[in-house]
Amino acid sequence: MHVTCAFYATVRDAVGAKEIEREAPEGATVRDVLDALAAEYDGVGPLVFDSEGRVRANVNVLVNGENVRDGAGPATALSDGDTLMVAPAVAGG
């Protein structure tokens, strides 16, 4: 299935692009795609996952504009044509 991955801030810098297209197997979850991205792009893993392998609290992960924390979290199933967005919280002042 086809998934569009969009990145912001430091994750975008680690990937080197704002958006990429990926093929994922049927039944893939958000975690599956995040793991694949971390394996492909060296800097992504430490930005997205904490030392225990959980998605960092300051990283927003959305599927089609809906925060996965409001549902099944990283176990959220993906469907063909979904957009997965990864955006670390940005502070400023």
Q: What pLDDT score was predicted for residue 18?
A: 98
Q: Average pLDDT in the 20-45 region?
A: 97
The dihedral through the CA atoms of 52, 34, 57, 76 has a sign that is negative
pTM of this structure? 0.94
Q: What pLDDT score was predicted for residue 20?
A: 98
Q: Mean pLDDT across the chain, nearest whole number?
A: 96
High-pLDDT (> 90) share of the chain, %: 95
Task: Provide the 10 A C-beta neighbour count for residue 78.
Answer: 23
90 falls in which pLDDT band (50, 70, 90)?
Answer: confident
92 falls in which pLDDT band (50, 70, 90)?
Answer: low
Going along the chain from its start, the domains and CATH numbers come out as 2-88 (3.10.20.30)
Q: What pLDDT score was predicted for residue 65?
A: 97
Task: Indicate the burial class of 45 (C-beta count within 10 angstroms; 0-12, 13-18, 19 or more).
Answer: middle
- Euclidean distance between the first and the last CA atom of the chain, given in angstroms as a whole number: 41
Question: Phi-psi category of 11—alpha, beta or left, where left has phi over 0 and alpha has psi -120 to 50?
Answer: alpha
